[in-house]
Amino acid sequence: MYGRSSLLFADLSGSGFTSTPVNCITYYYSQELATSCVRTLARIHAWGWGKAAGHDESAWTALLAGNWEFGHKLFKYNKALDKYLAQWCPREHAADLRDVGVQEMLYDLKANQHRWWARALSMTRDQTVLHGDFHKGNLFVRPEEDGPTEPEEVYVIDWAYVGAGHCAWEVAYFFLLSTDATPQEELALAESYYTELSARNSDLQYSREEFLADLKMVQIMQAMFVIMEGSQPRKPAEYEENLAKGGAVRDLALLGGETTALPTAKTRPVRKCTQLGCWLCGQTRCVGG
């Protein structure tokens, strides 16, 4: 009214809801809570389905998951994989990277890039409206000890990166930052997401098989970017600094260190994964902590 804007705030913390810093790696969502969150995400995507054409891409999500041309050039031409393995294989806890099978899998992925690259390029870039930064740090949920959080009780904040994109970008992004799921658990989450998406959009022209194939494609791309990021010369020093500060909790666990939980969070056991590529190749080689 009269050209003025108004903001309405809700005290979510006062209502018993809480969020988790995205860089907190002592706590990941349980399967039950992650299921509610992916159902909430599916409702957002169902609402925005077909409405994103002509709008700007979700800049942050597109950079991490959808910047195919940039990633392709780096992965193919700058020997990032060689640098990555050279930097990280000698480290004490990197026995999984020294596994010949893992290295063969990664080099095979690179050697056959021309075969799967066309599949990546064919993914629609304005399929739906994305939140743009959907992870545990931007979600308010009930503390798990207080009972389950229903999908309609997941409060989503920080819409600064809302924009057009592909739904699989955002689902894979949530998996990466908010869950510690096994491949089987991720598949169950993906099924829950798609079931909700299709239930909320009766005109959906996008099959479950297409979605699962797209999701796997994006996860491969995420692995590629992790390799490129980790190949930078400064990364080992940053890693050592994090260890010294006690910040890299998962790595401290591998080295026999102690982990601590958030006081309001139900902490899941930290898995000692003996195979970095298990979620890519579809095999479960994790032993529970």
Residue 252, domain CATH = 3.90.1200
Closest CA to 156 of 48, 270, 268: 48
Question: Bigger pLDDT: 169 or 70?
Answer: 169
Measured CA to CA, the distance from residue 47 to residue 41 in angstroms comes to 10
Instruction: Classify residue 3: in a domain, yes or no.
Output: no
pLDDT, mean of residues 258-267: 35
CB contact at 8 A, 169 and 61 = yes
Tell me the C-alpha distance between 185 and 30, whole Å: 10
**Residue 11 placed within a domain:** no
Rounded mean pLDDT, 259-279: 34
What is the model's pLDDT at position 78?
Answer: 64
Determine, yes or no, domain membership for 23: no
pLDDT, tens digit, 9 for 90 and up, residues 4-57: 766 777 787 777 888 887 666 567 899 999 999 999 999 999 999 999 999 988
Work out how many domains the chain is built from and give that number: 1
Q: Which two tokens stand for residue 148?
A: 């389950």
Distance between CA atoms of residues 260 and 269, nearest Å: 11
Amino acid letter for position 282: G
pTM: 0.77
Listed range (107-121, 126-140, 211-225) with the worst mean pLDDT: 107-121
Average pLDDT in the chain: 78
Least trusted range by pLDDT, from 84-98, 113-127, 175-189, 270-284: 270-284
Within a domain: 176: yes
- Please report which confidence band the pLDDT of residue 74 belongs to, taking 50, 70 and 90 as the band edges: low
Band of the pLDDT at 283, cuts 50, 70, 90?
A: very low
- Nearest to residue 230, comparing CAs of 130, 95, 81? 81
236 located within any domain: yes
Confidence of residue 68 (pLDDT cuts 50, 70, 90): low
- pLDDT given for residue 127 in this prediction: 95
Residue 279 domain boundaries: 31-287
Q: Is residue 180 part of a domain?
A: yes
Is 77 within a domain? yes
CA angle 132, 191, 121 (to 5 degrees): 50
CA angle 118/123/126 to nearest 5° reads 145
Is the pLDDT assigned to residue 204 strictly greater than 60?
A: yes
Among 12-16, 109-113, 161-165, which range has the highest average pLDDT?
161-165
In this predicted structure, the answer to whether residue 256 has a pLDDT above a threshold of 80 is: no
Of 137-151, 167-181, 234-248, 254-268, the poorest mean pLDDT is in 254-268
In a domain, 13, yes or no: no
- How does residue 255 score in pLDDT terms, banded at 50, 70 and 90? very low
Do 146 and 16 form a contact (C-beta atoms < 8 A)?
yes
CA gap 127, 130 in Å, rounded? 9
